[in-house]
Structure 1
């Protein structure tokens, strides 16, 4: 790769994530087109690349763009619509009935566009999504200029999107074919959960995922009730049932993974699986706290996800990092659990690895795509700063994000969104759907 740069981004600190635990001071990231060509001291960068356009961030930390490893983006339109309910009541009494009445391509397109705006504003550059009408979601993410991995959802029961498991798979694979080759849009196979998908479709998902080489994205072990019902109905815990059907492997992303025993953790480690940890959603739905430190100790890759805005109610990776760190400390009674560098890695490289994208995103390394996020530490609430990585996890919020790049292209500049669809139009769309839900 030629090392001539057309753009330099220089920052007070750069945290490349790879190698682990490193913080660089007064360095620059040199870009050529969509990729990183070098990370080097600021003065050397200017000498080597005198013609490059320079973005100077003297009070900032530059990090890889966040990877949201689990979301239901379109559910941004249901933000706060069903608070203070446990998971199954939340689904059965509120979410599923609303979806049955309102979910459509327009709903998904509008909700996903709203979510993409929120995610980019907070430094999320890649989203692993799971929802109906993935074609509409792809259009929205593409319009926003985000990277997205979209789930071909599979459920046994009918919805406005599909009639049965075969219909879900057929439609999802057709959408994947239409978007194949797009530089920012990818796909997973996304059976909703073991309790909503029967054995035959799950086995077919396992076979198809291996055949077309895509990840499997599934909620699993989210609640104690799920585990108990699996034992009663199938005689084994959910992960053991999935193992019997051939799903766990290096392409397997288990979402939530809250109620795990030692055997479950061994299974995930043995198969090289990944876990999408969603601490805020798990707390809000009173599902519990995932044993993240035990997973990491066994070598299980862990990323962070927001879940949907209907069960969070924010699409905010800063909140997820802080909650993940604090939950780990309080549940293990170990103040050293999940230090800041580990949490930042989960929010970036961990998600990239789970999606099979670690060779492209998740770290500030020459050859990788220039998905970047700049966070300003120039306000009283961010000073003094002794450790910028600690500040990212324990002090900063998405309001401190000033610049975001996806593939070297600015999506947020000085805190201002560069999305073609302006905030006024997004507010109008949100108001339209709020009115429909009230009718």
Structure 2
């Protein structure tokens, strides 16, 4: 019987792999049973039995180099979110599969599995060997997942030249045009902690003007109200050019203006807010305050306050030192900056995106199966496991096609309540992956 992505996704959603703690081992066990039943051998690797990773190598026809398909099995939590349907029931409602991970990224894993199992069922082989990696921990730094595999078992990816993975939240909805993102570059994490120190006091007394709680207000205002300087990159320029070429006026002109205007302190005008913020985010480093910690006593003026900052550094040769200088200039020197995490930099020899035959193969599949859609080279403001596999010299692309209705907003449901994906989109993605596996070069 042919495999379908929908029931596979429903099963995957019902396996709760919220990270932390992850517990991805139960998801890996499910995938292992599926593949074993189809005669596909697997290997399991992990730091412990609960945080495991699966590797399967499906022999190809020898007409192309090995191709890596990587998917993470963990998901973010749902605490404090108001869901219309239970987030781990995997319900099918009005032609959509609901649940945490529907798009990020158990939906992608389901499409990969369906494509591979259907080829097996039909007795067909992919153009080259396919390495499937189902990995843990992507949502919390990848230490137990792709980081572990790349560090401890690089031999698993010998001879792999290209990789397909998630899009990292990329996606543009403008002008009624259906864009299919192909992520060719991504930013890397630069997580910081800003520490403010000063005299504390009793909560019953007026706080002095230089109290830490007063200074916190100035810091948060600076971080939330001003953009960091803009830095041009070839990948972002190509993205904007392709986007402008595909859009009707006046949107085309507004996007074209982004290629040349150095907008620092205002949201780009003339574009819908969501799209304006996304595009502006890949033209500069970004930093956002996300966690504030102070006293846990209501009657105490805190003597120390920390603010955790989610920073993202543009792809290329930009450094943590340069990013820190920009953040320090923004918040002033009233406080200490500590680096909590620096994301891996893509090696210099493959840092620039490659738009050669494999990229053309990706766009060709999209144009064949969706003539009305527009393939779009994207820089994503997020980071994925691609940054780790790239350290092995693998060219990585974020490419999990979903034929979504323009303006549907499904790509904005990552990490928020009511995440869901249309059945038609899953079937389209499965067809695209199948076409790619059979004909890539």
Asked if Structure 1 and Structure 2 have the same fold, meaning a TM-score greater than 0.5 normalized by the shorter chain, the answer is: no
Bigger Cα Rg = 2
Select the structure that is richer in helix: 1
TM-score normalised to the size of structure 1?
Answer: 0.28
TM-score normalised to the size of structure 2?
Answer: 0.28
Which has the higher relative contact order, 1 or 2, with Cα contacts under 8 A spaced 6 or more apart? Answer: 2
